[in-house]
Amino acid sequence: MAESLLVRDPRNGKIDPARPPFDAPFFRGNLFALNPFTLMRRFTDEMDHFFKPSGELAAIPNAWIPVVEVKEKDNKILVTAELPGLKKEDVKVYVEGDALILEGERKKETEEKGTGFYHSERSYGAFCRSIPLPEGIKLDAITANFTNGVLEAVIPVAEVKTKRKDVPVNEAPVKAKAAA
């Protein structure tokens, strides 16, 4: 059963159920009158409302955040993005500054007609992911392949030869205390 807090209007003394007692978005009601479990339930309800279970942000219309994996193997950076429902033409991959940029937009429209009914549904979502790149990448050798909704980009990195020199650690001599 949902809780309902009622507030009296100070001007006329009547109860106004439409007016929340406290205007902060997470804490509607008298904060000190709530039991801690009710307060936590309200907080989690608000967070569930803000972050949809699908991983999309409710506060950003038409936002879509695809899953991206970045790993390094054999002097190459491998970027894999899961983009179900997209075609090669819907995806852009480019390097800008020191980042690999993945952009795209999905559009899905379904229409179903039958005897005595008509159903139409549309969904849209754009994304832009920026993956920071290290120094020494080979811009001319970057490749990207798109197969069955999975984008794989391979970024070769020049092998950096680091000079290493071990530095011996000596024990410092103990200084004698001066006589007082």
Q: Which domains does the chain have, with CATH numbers?
A: 7-50 (no CATH), 68-156 (2.60.40.790)
Closest CA relative to residue 55, chosen from 127, 132, 133, 160: 127
β-sheet bridge partners, residue 119? 112
Residue-level pLDDT at 106: 82
Residue-level pLDDT at 63: 60
Average pLDDT of adjacent 10-residue blocks, the chain of 180 residues: 48 56 48 68 72 53 76 90 89 90 86 88 83 86 93 87 83 74
**Strands, sheet with 143-147, edge to edge from the N-terminal-most edge strand:** 68-73, 76-82, 150-156, 143-147
pTM over 0.95? The answer is no
Residue-level pLDDT at 46: 72
| Lookup: tokens for 47 | 């967070």
Residue-level pLDDT at 14: 62
Task: Please state, in angstroms and rounded to a whole number, the distance separating the CA atoms of residues 168 and 170.
Answer: 6
**The residue to which tokens 């920026």 are assigned:** 130
DSSP line for 54-113: TS-BTTSTTB----EEEEEETTEEEEEEE-TT--GGGEEEEEETTEEEEEEEEEEEEEEE
Closest CA relative to residue 27, chosen from 41, 10, 6: 41
